[in-house]
Structure 1
Amino acid sequence: MDLEDGMSTKSSGKRGGWITVPFIIGSAGALGLATSGASANLLVYLVEEFNVKSIDAAQITNIVNGCVSLAPILGAVISDSFFGCFPVIAVSTAISLLSMVLFTLTSTISSLRPAPCATGSDACPTATPDQLAVLYAAVALVCVASGGTRFTTATMGADQFDSATDQNVFFNWYFIAQYVSSVLGATVIVYVQDSVSWGWGFGISAAASAAATAVLLLGLRHYRRPKPTGSPFTGLARVAVAAVRKWRLPTSPEAVGLFFGPDKSTLQSNQPPSLSLRWLNKAAVVTRGDNNEDGSLAKPWRLCTVQEVEDLKAIVRILPLWLTGIFLSISIGIQGSLTVLQALTVDRRLGPHFSVPAGSLIVSSFAASAVTLFLLDRFIFPTWRMLTGREETLLRRVGIGHAINIAAMAASALVERMRMSAVRSHRLADDLAGATVPMSVLWLLLPLVLVGVAEALHFPGQVAFYYQEFPPALRGTATGMMAVIIALGFYLSTAVIDLVRRATDWLPDNVNASRLDRVYWTLAAGGAVNLGMFLILAQAYRCRSGSPETLAAEKQVALAPPPPTSEGHKRL
């Protein structure tokens, strides 16, 4: 089947379908390359070029990563409520270009940086307010650009398809492109920054941002662009207010006296609302004065449709599962920043002429995610369907990701114990300048690879789950829910590190005198508790159709033969 045939069978109308994917993913990949090139080495940039102390630089980096991750939820709300996905993405890619230009200026104009200083010295000059203003302006623009593109692009891509299967395939390949671009940014660009110059490194990021804008605009005539219908959050707020105002009314499971909307021709059914969270059903109970004579709403903050009630219920039911994803982000954020500090103390040489940049270690996690996603999409999931006749459910996929992430934290603790053994055997703990530990940097890769495998399971799985379970008017916000998880993880990881520093002696400025292994064991234990909570909530969760996700999948298989590989799989 060719591309145009795929479009005709998988999408409605003349626009949308797989023809849009090269433009959407190409633009997202180029923008991801630019962003990762600027952010992957930010901690090292702060330490070496702006003379920031190591632990403080780690804290600042986590805050910046939190801002970059939180901004997409605002972009999702703006696109859902006012402008749609494409205009928000287009403006944001242009802002990304501006931010990369500012980063390039801070790295090439000496007056925009403090005077050079030997790493580890206690007498380094600090940056002036003007220098910090330019640097933080560049960082702020990166946050704005990420807010309008990171998950809004994923929503725009999924909107090009009607089939949930094709949407899931798109999410897989979208995240493959994101991880591959992150790999290139954290290797090629970071290597240029460390080995050639910071100016050339940030210049490449600026060129990538320009390419992202051009590729996005080239596909303009092919995109399906659903129009926003106004803020969906107003309707959700109305349900809560109406339910509170009518809390004294009795709750009835019957459809009699419920409001389904003034236009009966558009109603799919007049079935009563679900029995879960039944107190919210009171918002749809018609009382005297709620309606006009023609059936239209007279008091919209006292009466809502049954569908609006069910939309709010869907979000409330998802929130507990969503909360369990925050701890995953906390552990990943802490591990990422501490691993960079570990890398600065070990032997990073690979051969006589190459040294691994500390900021590039995270590339192993991105590469593992990209490879794992490819294997899942092309081999593991198809094999599972062939052998069992079942589709792997999204919640089970997320749960496996939780378990592997726990193993990654335990692996980090074991590797750190090895590093500290080398520190003690060579009596390096008292060297405040940060002596090199005779241990290969390759030992730090195993935990990062495990984190990458875990991300390939729980990250796209959560995005697809939220997209499918959220009300249609909130699908941009649905994919943006992961942005909030990531942002809260970075912010809370900063708070956790600060708490550990205040309550224990595990995190002194001298990493060779630290007890990072105890931090990692604490994260592993917390992850185990979090996984237990997730399993309980996932077992109790029911999809919007009212059936457990696992039973829905089994019922689908029982009524039909195992589904063939989708057209999206064939084309990709």
Structure 2
Amino acid sequence: MNAELQSCGPPKKGGWVTFPFLIATMAGLTLAAAGWSNNIIVYLINEFNIKSIDAAQIANIVNGCMALSPILGAILADSYLGSFKVITLSSLVSIVGILALALTSILDLMRPTPCKHGPSPCEGPSKAQTGILYISMALSTMGVAGTRFTLATMGADQFTNPKHQRVFLNWHFFTMYAAMLVSMVGIVYIQDNVSWGLGYGLSVAANLIGLVAFVTGSRYYLLLKPQGSPFTGLACVLVAAFCKRKALLSPKTEDYCQEPQPGETKLINTTNSFKFLNHAALVTEGDMNPDGSIKKPWNLCTLQQVEDLKTLIRIFPIWSTGILLHTTLAIQMSLVILQALAMDRHLVPQLQISAGTMMVFVTISTAISLALIDRFLLTFHKITHTSPTLLKRIGIGHVLTIASMALSALVESKRLAAARTHNLTGNSIVPMSVFWMVPQLLVVGVGEAFMFPGQVMFYYQEFPKSIKSTAAAMVAVIIGIAFYLGTAIVDLIRKTTGWLPDGINDGRMDNVYWVLTIAGLVNFGYFLVCSWMYKYQHDENKELISSNSF
């Protein structure tokens, strides 16, 4: 009888019971987002008659927004609405955006007249058509804001065991790359060879399935209540420290404002790094009410808030090294599509792959590498009794990314040589197989498997508890900035050199790749210095990271 009563009680919150719902959600939403974004350059060129380099620049901006917007979703989840509401609302917005994009491909009125062969120039999109296109892409992009990284953090929050968190994150990213692979092979092929409307319609269906899976599992989720914006407290530290800059610091821990923790009696000690910020937690006359509460929040902060800000300052140099790293990747990914459009893409005489499908090699490489890395390092640990730290994992990603840029330069040099041999100009197809680019894309994928999850786990473990969702989204901020910076660099190269004309056979894209290789080497040196100077925030975290690195 007791067993029956227990079975009728409320379901257990959190744990592995949430795994299938969260993974299904990730699969559906990623399939939808990748389905409309992976082939957007080809769509802009072929359906909206936009010039190739301009289409690549628009795609970079879109990808930058997709990468940068999750930080807004993470802040909303941490501070105000909670993860469940943010993910649900974002999924609904995404459905509306992709549906509008599908309509631009179905209704002739919503896109320009197709180009005709001959001397007459192609007709570009009207202002109304351009506006509808941009609005649909904006809504689709906003849909990514509250899902990609907020979903990762919400999933990790379902587990209290750090090992289980690591396993979930590995499966989370494996699912993300696997769904991207399905999208690149299936949906992109349908868009190029069957119908753009059907391809975008499948993206809408995938988004809807992901949303239904997420809502279905709501009764099992362990939902953390938002605690208000943690960034207000961090800003308070700067203001309070400046206002009290002339006060003498005390060596006694009791003289600083402490935030009582449930079940803990141990006081937080002050640290000497960035000592100026300790002024913010120094209790002076008139700071406290008779009941012990803070009288003026912007004049006194807790020592925990001070230490949280110090943590972010210590992490910032490591974080900044990722910007230039991802900038080179952002430029490379857009240029690869343009190269593929000007190369022989036939698998067999009767079958030609899509230019956007080339990214499938990155995804395959990343997915396989993610599956193998844990096993490889487990064997490595048994033999050496040591494991590389997360920073070493990120460093391997740096090295592989630099190698991929050098390979890209060599392949493009060969492609340009073939174009000149056959007197080909503009964007004419060079008689050189597109599969020459596969090695560089495989190297990119392996580098991503080392770098991307390593960055997420590093920030998740090292960031203050109050901004865990923001910690995961910090990788998205890096990628977003990188896409914008990549767009600016490409514009600069176009204005100052002749390397990137509208017809890539007339330019020197290989020189662009060599510049990216040199920039990557300089950035890697900066990363080595930052990694050498960085100290993990807690001794127990250092042990945890060493044992759970990959």
Partner secondary structure for residue 83 of structure 1: coil
1:462 Cα deviation from its structure 2 partner: 0.5
* Larger displacement relative to structure 2 (95-104 or 264-273): 264-273
CA contact (8 A) 1:393 1:553 kept: no
Partner secondary structure for residue 332 of structure 2: helix
1:548 Cα deviation from its structure 2 partner: 9.0
Q: What letter corresponds to residue 445 of structure 1 in structure 2?
A: V
1:364 Cα deviation from its structure 2 partner: 0.8
CA contact (8 A) 2:74 2:146 kept: yes
Q: What letter corresponds to residue 442 of structure 1 in structure 2?
A: F
**How far apart are the structure 2 equivalents of 1:183 and 1:426?**
35
Corresponding residue number in structure 1 for 2:32: 34
**How far apart are the structure 1 equivalents of 2:278 and 2:206?**
51
What does the per-residue CA deviation read over 1:195-229, in whole Å, with 9 as the maximum and x for residues that have no partner? 10111111111111111111111211111101111
**How far apart are the structure 1 equivalents of 2:539 and 2:310?**
12
1:250 Cα deviation from its structure 2 partner: 2.8
Partner secondary structure for residue 350 of structure 1: strand
- Flag the 1:120–1:362 CA change in 2: closer, same or farther, 3 A: farther
Say if 2:56 is the partner of 1:58: yes
Q: Gaps (5+ residues) in structure 1?
A: 1-12, 558-562
Say if 2:402 is the partner of 1:402: no
Q: TM-score, normalised by structure 1?
A: 0.91
CA contact (8 A) 1:384 1:392 kept: no
Corresponding residue number in structure 2 for 1:385: 381
1:249 Cα deviation from its structure 2 partner: 2.1
**How far apart are the structure 2 equivalents of 1:467 and 1:273?**
23
Q: What letter corresponds to residue 309 of structure 2 in structure 1?
A: L
Equivalent positions of 1:145-224 (< 5 A) are: 145-224=143-222
Corresponding residue number in structure 1 for 2:20: 22
Equivalent positions of 1:493-508 (< 5 A) are: 493-508=486-501
Corresponding residue number in structure 1 for 2:463: 470
Corresponding residue number in structure 2 for 1:7: none
Partner secondary structure for residue 524 of structure 2: helix
**How far apart are the structure 1 equivalents of 2:254 and 2:118?**
74
**How far apart are the structure 1 equivalents of 2:362 and 2:209?**
25
1:268 Cα deviation from its structure 2 partner: 4.6
What does the per-residue CA deviation read over 1:102-146, in whole Å, with 9 as the maximum and x for residues that have no partner? 121111111111000048977111111221222112101111100
1:264 Cα deviation from its structure 2 partner: 7.4
CA contact (8 A) 2:270 2:303 kept: yes
Say if 2:330 is the partner of 1:333: yes
CA contact (8 A) 1:390 1:553 kept: no
What does the per-residue CA deviation read over 1:443-474, in whole Å, with 9 as the maximum and x for residues that have no partner? 11211111111111111111111111111110
How many residue pairs get aligned? The number is 540
**How far apart are the structure 2 equivalents of 1:265 and 1:178?**
37
**How far apart are the structure 2 equivalents of 1:423 and 1:265?**
70
**How far apart are the structure 2 equivalents of 1:326 and 1:516?**
22
Partner secondary structure for residue 151 of structure 1: helix
Q: What letter corresponds to residue 414 of structure 2 in structure 1?
A: M
What does the per-residue CA deviation read over 1:415-445, in whole Å, with 9 as the maximum and x for residues that have no partner? 11111111121121xx33x221111000112
**How far apart are the structure 1 equivalents of 2:54 and 2:285?**
62
**How far apart are the structure 1 equivalents of 2:296 and 2:110?**
58
Equivalent positions of 1:312-323 (< 5 A) are: 312-323=309-320
Q: What letter corresponds to residue 76 of structure 1 in structure 2?
A: A
Corresponding residue number in structure 1 for 2:520: 527
Corresponding residue number in structure 2 for 1:370: 367
**How far apart are the structure 2 equivalents of 1:146 and 1:239?**
32
CA contact (8 A) 1:253 1:272 kept: no
Say if 2:409 is the partner of 1:413: yes
CA contact (8 A) 1:391 1:553 kept: no
Corresponding residue number in structure 2 for 1:4: none
CA contact (8 A) 2:268 2:304 kept: no
1:547 Cα deviation from its structure 2 partner: 8.3
Corresponding residue number in structure 1 for 2:475: 482
**How far apart are the structure 1 equivalents of 2:539 and 2:117?**
60
Q: What letter corresponds to residue 482 of structure 1 in structure 2?
A: V
CA contact (8 A) 1:410 1:521 kept: yes
Corresponding residue number in structure 2 for 1:144: 142
**How far apart are the structure 2 equivalents of 1:494 and 1:274?**
41
CA contact (8 A) 1:251 1:278 kept: no
CA contact (8 A) 1:541 1:548 kept: no
Kindly report the root-mean-square deviation, in angstroms, between the aligned alpha carbons of the 2 structures: 1.9
Q: What letter corresponds to residue 406 of structure 1 in structure 2?
A: I
Q: What letter corresponds to residue 465 of structure 2 in structure 1?
A: P
Corresponding residue number in structure 2 for 1:247: 245
**How far apart are the structure 2 equivalents of 1:294 and 1:313?**
29
Corresponding residue number in structure 2 for 1:509: 502
What does the per-residue CA deviation read over 1:481-540, in whole Å, with 9 as the maximum and x for residues that have no partner? 011111111101000000111111111111001111111111111111111111111111
**How far apart are the structure 2 equivalents of 1:111 and 1:165?**
54
- Flag the 1:201–1:120 CA change in 2: closer, same or farther, 3 A: farther
**How far apart are the structure 1 equivalents of 2:382 and 2:327?**
37
Q: Gaps (5+ residues) in structure 2?
A: 1-10
What does the per-residue CA deviation read over 1:314-363, in whole Å, with 9 as the maximum and x for residues that have no partner? 11111111110011211111001111111111110110221110111111
- Flag the 1:228–1:119 CA change in 2: closer, same or farther, 3 A: farther
Identity of aligned residues (%): 46
Say if 2:448 is the partner of 1:450: no
- Flag the 1:466–1:265 CA change in 2: closer, same or farther, 3 A: closer
Say if 2:287 is the partner of 1:290: yes
Partner secondary structure for residue 290 of structure 1: coil
1:553 Cα deviation from its structure 2 partner: 5.8
CA contact (8 A) 1:43 1:57 kept: yes
CA contact (8 A) 1:176 1:373 kept: yes
Corresponding residue number in structure 2 for 1:108: 106
**How far apart are the structure 1 equivalents of 2:216 and 2:90?**
16
Corresponding residue number in structure 2 for 1:492: 485
